[in-house]
A and B are shown apart, each in its own frame.
Chain A
Amino acid sequence: MAAALAGLTLPAVVEELLSEMAAAVQENARIPDEHLSLLKFIFGPSAIQALDLVDRQSITLISSPSGRRVYQVLGSSGKTYTCLASCHYCSCPAFAFSVLRKSDSLLCKHLLAVYLSQVTGTCRQLKVSDKQLTDVLFAEKKQKA
C-alpha cells in the first residue's frame, strides 16, 4: 500500500492504528481506551457506529471455492450491505456520497466495521458455493439498479 500513499498521511495513520489495535487484541484481548479515542478522532461519529456493528457481530466474510470474497454487514436498520474484500467499496449510500463523491470520509462505518471485526477477530465466516456468492453480488447489483 505504501506506493499508493505517497504524500498521504491519513491512510497510513489508519493502517497503523488498526495494526496497533490488532496487536493489543492479540496481547491483551482488549483494545485500549486510547485506541478507541483515536478511532473517534479519525472517523468521528462513524467510529461508535462501527464499533457497535462489531459488538453485534454484524460482519460476515462470505467466501467461495473460487476465491471470491465479500463482506456482508448487517446495518443497524436491518439492511445488509456488501463490502468488497479487495478494495474499498460498500454498497451503502453513505459510501457513495461521503467517500466517493465528497471525499469527506475515508471509510463508511460498514467498511470500518469490517476492519474492526478483523482486528477483534469477531468476523464471522461463511463459505458458500460460487453460485451462491455470484447471487449475492448479483442481487446487490439488481438492488442498485
Chain B
Amino acid sequence: MPGGGTSCTRKRKRNWDIEYPSLPGGSPLKFRRAGLRTVGATASLSEAWLRCGEGFQDTSGTLLLTAEKKIVTEKHLELSLRPKEETAASKSTSGLTDITWSSSGSDVSDEDKTLFKSQRDNGHSSRIDRFSNRNKNILCTEDGASEDELQFIDWEIDSDREDTSEYNEFEDCESVVEISDCASCSSNHSSTSEEGFSELLKRSSTEILEYSSDSEKEDDSENALFIDSESSPKNHMDFGTDVREVMERPIRRKVKSAETILYMPQKQTFPRTPGPSAKMKLLRGGLAERLNGLQNRERSAISLWRHQCVSYQKTLSGRKSGILVVKILELHEECTIQVAMCEQFAGMQADSSSLGQAPRTGLKVLFTKETACHLRGRPQDIIHIYPPWQKLVIPNGSCPVILNTYFCQKIVTKEDSKIIREVHCWDTPLPRRSITLAQMFIFKNLTIKSPEGQVMCSDLTTMRTECTRGHEETKQCFPTQAPLRDSLLDAVESQGAAPWSGVKVRVVVQRVYSLPCRYQQGGGSAVPPGPDPSRARVCLLVQDAYGMFSEVYSEGAILKDQQLEGKSCSLMGMKVLQKATRGRTAGLFSLIDTMWPPAMPLKAPGRGQAHEEVETRVPPPSFCYILSAHPSVGRIDVIEEDRISKLYQPPVTRFLREILQTDDHSTRCSFYARVIYQRSQQREIWLMVTDVTLQMQDENNSGLPKTVPVCVAPSCVLSQEVVEALAEATPHSFLFRDTLRAQGQIVCVERSVLLLQKPLLGMASSAPSCELTSPVKLNELDSVTQVNSICSVQGTVVGVDESTAFSWPTCDLCGNERLEQSPGDRGAFSCGDCSRVVISPLLRRHLQVFLDCPSRPQCTVRVKLSQASISSLLRFAACEDGSYEVKSVLGKEVGLLNCFVRSVTTHPASCVGLEEIELLTAGRASSRHCPSPQEL
C-alpha cells in the first residue's frame, strides 16, 4: 500500500474510480468549472492530503486500540454526531440530481449497511464491523454514452472502466493517482468552510478507519463532490453508493445553503433503474451467474459473521469443521493481496490451550485487501481463520496456501503498549513484491491428458525440487528407518508433491480395486473392459486413524488382489498426484460415504499421540489425496498380517429387493446376484441378474421386477477370473461390490468390483446367498417394461416381417456361418474353418414376427425369434418347394418366450422391439449362440 498509510486502500481505490472519468481535462480544470469554492479545494488538494494524513496519525492511535472496547466506544459516541449532519447535507446534494441509487455487485450487502448504521447509532463499534463497499458505484455517463454501456457500468467494478470510457488512456490515470487520495476530503470541503476542513478531514478519516465502508456519509459527500464537478465535458462518473431511500427524495426541502446546491447538468442522462435488475446481465446458467449466486450467499454470511463474530462460528462450522489458528511470521503484498507466511497451530481445531505445545506447520495465508484492512495483521499476531477457508496445495510450492479467508479474527494477547506500537507499525506500508508479466501461466491439466502424463510431470517437478533442495535431503532417503506416522494429511502437508522421503504412514486398506490406466474420473477416455491386465492398475482406498482417506495407485505388481483389504499397512514413497474433492471426483466420494461414519472413534486432529478420541459424528471428508506409489521407493507393507483392523468397514451386502426399494440415488451398494443373461452393447456389458428376494416375491403386489439389468461400464475393470466366468455358458453368482445406483439403474463403474461368489473377508457367516432353487422367472411384458431389460412374452402371431426374413447355411460341425460355395459342385458348401466340404449344412433363419399380446393390447410387439422358435413355428408351414406360407404362420400362438427388450417407443406409436434369448442355465449346452452386435 505505497503511500496509503493508515487509510484503507479501499478508500483510495473507490475514489480513484470516481475521479477517473473526469479526466483528462486535469482535475483543477474540473473543479474550477464547478465553482469558486471547489477551486479552492482543488488547489489545496495535495496540502489537504498531507493534513489528512496527519489526521490519521492523530486519531489512529486511539482508534486502533480495538481490543480496548471502552475507548473505542467513547470515541464513537463523540464522533457519531457530526457525520450525521453531513449526511443530511449531502443527501440534499445528491437528491438534486435526481439520481436513483442502486445497489451493485460488491462485497457488501445492503444488510451490512443497515447493520453498520445501527451500530454506529449505538455508539458501539468494534473492528470486526468494518468493511468495504468499494464496489458500490454508480456511473454517470456523458451524453453520448449508450444505454448498453450503462447497463453493465451500473454494477461497476474497476476493470469495467476501459469498456465505458474511451478516455481511459494511460496519461489520464496518472492524474487520477495524484488526486485520488483527497477525494473524500475535498468532498466535505465543498460544503463546509475552509477552516473546518482539516478538522473534518480528521473526522472522516476516523470514520474511515473505524468503519471503513460504513461511510454512508462518506459516500454521499463524495457524490456531492462529483456531481459538483460534473460540468467537466468528459465525465463518466462512478458513485460509491447503495440503496438508500433517502436519496430518492426530492432534495430541495433539505437544502441548507447555497453551497450545497450544486450544478447538475446531466440529470437526464441517468437512465438507471435501482436494484439488481440494472446489473450487468449475466448469461442464464452461465458460470458468471453461478458465481454471482455464490457471492450473494457469501456476502450475507460475511456480514452476519462480522456482526456476531463469535457466536456465528458455530453455525458456520457445519461446512468444514475447524478453525485454523496461525501465527503470522512474515507479511508482504502481491498485487493487493496480502500474503502472510504463517505457522499453523494444532491442526484444524481451535483450542487455545493447545497453543504452544502442538506441532506447527508452515502455511501461507492470503488475505484480500478488505480482510487485511480489517484484520491489520502484523508479524507475531495470532489469527483465527474460520471456515470456509480453503486450502490449495501447490505441487511444487513450499507449503499449502489458505484462501477464502473471509472470516478471521486477531487474537489480542499483548499489553496495550505493544498494541500501540503495532498500530504505528501498520502505518508503514507492507513490502510489495512485483510479479513478472513475461510469462503466461501454464496449467498441466490442459496439456497433459492422461494420469501417466501427470505422473511424469510430477516426477519432473520432483526432480526439480530435489535439485534445488540440494543434498541435505539425501540422507533422509532411508524410508524403512522412518518413524511410523498416523496422519496422511500431515504427511502430505510436510512432503508436498515430492515423493515422501522419511515418511511412513500407517493406514487401513478399506478397498482394493482396479482402475483403467487411462482412466480419468468422469470416464471420458476410459478403455473398454477387457482382460488386459497391463492396462489396469490396482488401487487401494486407504484410511488413516484420523479418518482421512486416500486413493493409492500402485505402480507395477506390488499388490496382490484383495489380500490387503482390512489390513493395517504402512505407506512409503508415495507422492501426491492430485487432490480429489467431492465435486470433482463424485465417484470416489460416493464410495467413501459408504464407510462413513467410521467403524471406530477417530483420533482428534492436532492431538498427536494423545489417543484422545473424538466423536464419530463428524461430517464426512470433503477432500482426499490421490497418491501414487513411486516406482522405485514406493512400498505398501502389511503391518499386522493376521489382524483385520477395527477401522475396516467391509461392504455391506443387501438383497436386491432392499436395494430397489430404497431410492437413494448416486449411492454405492453391494449385493450378491446370479447372472442369468448377458449382452455386450458397444462398450458396455449388460448383465441381467436376479436374486432370491426378487424371484420369491409375490406376483402382484410388489411392483418390483423379477430381474434387474446391471450395466458394467467400461471404467469398471473386470478381473481375469470374472471375464472367464462370464464367457462360460453357465450361470454364475457374483458379488457386485460398490456398484452405483444412478438414475434408477445399477451400474458397475470405476471402483466397483465383481467377484465370483465366495465368502468375503470379514463377512459374517450369515452372508446373503442368492442360491435359487427353482428355475428363474421373468416378468411378463407389460407397460412398465424398460429397454435393455428382459421379459417373457406370449401372444398370437399377427404378422411376419417378410423383408427381413432370410436363411443361410452353417457348418454342422463348427457352426461357421461363412460357408463358401464349392466351385465345381453346385449346392455343396465348404467350411473354411474345418477345411472340409459340408455335406449337410444346418440352415439358420432370421425371422421377425409381430405378436398380439394380451399384456400389451395396444402395442406393436415385434419379436426376433430364436432358431428353436422359428423351427417350431415353421414346422407346419413348409411348402413343398422349401418356401413357407405366411398365412399358415398367422394366428399361431407363441410363448412363453424369454426376450431381451431392444427398444421401447411410445411415440408416434407404441412399439416394443424384442429379441428372443436363451437364459443361462446350468444344464445348457456349451454351443450357446451369443448374438454379436452386428447381428442386432
Contact = CB atoms under 8 A, between A and B. Distances in A.
Contacts of B802: none
Given A33-B294, A45-B159, 4 more contacts: A23-B584, A38-B404, A48-B292, A49-B288
A45 B280 CA distance: 12
B334 interface: yes
B522 A94 contact: no
B581 A9 contact: no
B169 interface: yes
Contacts of A15: 394, 441-443
Contacts of B105: 45, 48
15 contacts: A4-B438, A20-B445, A26-B524, A27-B521, A36-B287, A40-B291, A45-B157, A51-B288, A52-B282, A54-B287, A55-B289, A93-B173, A100-B437, A101-B170, A101-B174
B415 to A, nearest CB: 32
B665 interface: no
A16 B395 contact: yes
B397 interface: yes
A32 interface: yes
Nearest to A115: B441
Interface string A27-60: 1111111101111111011111101101110000
A2 B294 contact: no
A93 B167 CA distance: 9
A106 interface: yes
Interface in A41-99: 41-42, 44-49, 51-52, 54-56, 75-79, 81, 85-89, 92-99
A33 B290 contact: yes
A110 to B, nearest CB: 8
A99 B163 contact: no
B308 to A, nearest CB: 22
Interface string B142-178: 0000001100100011111111110011100110010
Contact of B286 (A2, A55, A88): A55
B169, B298, B403, B464: residue with the most chain A Cβ atoms closer than 10 Å: B403
A23, A38, A105: residue with the most chain B Cβ atoms closer than 10 Å: A23
Interface residues of A, number: 81
A56 to B, nearest CB: 6
Given A30-B583, A42-B403, A56-B283, A48 B446 contact: no
Contacts of A136: none
Nearest to B525: A26
Contact of A101 (B173, B394, B520, B586): B173
Given A2-B464, A38-B404, A22 B336 contact: no
Contacts of B586: 28
A105 B368 CA distance: 12
B396 interface: yes
A48 B295 contact: yes
A87 B287 contact: no
Contacts of B291: 36-37, 39-40, 47-48, 51
A109 B159 contact: yes
A87 B437 contact: yes
B909 interface: no
Contact of B392 (A16, A52, A89, A98): A16
B915 to A, nearest CB: 34
Interface stretch (B114-122, B217-225, B428-436): B428-436
B105, B152, B335, B394: residue with the most chain A Cβ atoms closer than 10 Å: B335
Contact of B368 (A23, A34, A44, A75): A44
Contact of A9 (B334, B434, B584): B334
B403 A13 contact: yes
B135 interface: yes
Contact of B288 (A55, A105, A108): A55
A106 B437 CA distance: 9
What 7 pairs between A and B have smallest CB-CB spacing? Answer: A55-B286, A45-B157, A32-B583, A93-B168, A77-B163, A52-B288, A94-B159
B444 interface: yes
Interface of B: 13, 105-106, 135, 148-149, 152, 156-165, 168-170, 173-174, 177, 280, 282-283, 286-292, 294-295, 298, 334-337, 339, 364, 366, 368, 390, 392-397, 401, 403-404, 406, 432-446, 449, 464, 520-522, 524, 578-579, 581, 583-586
A30 to B, nearest CB: 7
Contact of A106 (B106, B290, B368, B435): B435
Contact of A28 (B162, B286, B336, B583): B583
A12 B442 CA distance: 10
A89 B440 CA distance: 9
Contacts of A102: 177
A132 interface: no
A29 B364 contact: no
Contacts of B169: 93
B162 A93 contact: yes
Contacts of B159: 45-46, 49, 92, 94, 98, 105, 108-109
Contacts of B433: 7-8
A18 B443 contact: yes
Contacts of B585: 27
B446 A41 contact: no
A119 interface: yes
Nearest to B287: A51
Nearest to A104: B336
A45 B156 contact: yes
Nearest to B334: A10
Contact of B434 (A12, A81, A103): A103
B287 A13 contact: no
Contacts of B401: 9, 12-13
Nearest to A91: B162
A78 B148 contact: yes
Nearest to B578: A23
A19 interface: yes
A8, A31, A39, A103: residue with the most chain B Cβ atoms closer than 10 Å: A103
B406 to A, nearest CB: 8
Contacts of B366: 9-10, 13, 41-42
Contact of A19 (B286, B339, B444): B444
A84 B289 CA distance: 28
Given A2-B464, A106-B335, A26 B164 contact: no
B579 A8 contact: no
A57 B578 CA distance: 29
Contacts of B156: 45
A17 B432 CA distance: 22
B165 to A, nearest CB: 8
B390 to A, nearest CB: 6
Interface in A106-133: 106, 108-109, 115-116, 118-120
B390 A38 contact: yes
Nearest to B437: A88
Contacts of B298: 37, 40
B847 to A, nearest CB: 44
Contacts of A9: 334, 339, 364, 366, 397, 401
Given A45-B135, A77-B149, A28 B163 contact: no
A9 B103 CA distance: 34
Contact of B583 (A33, A96, A99): A33
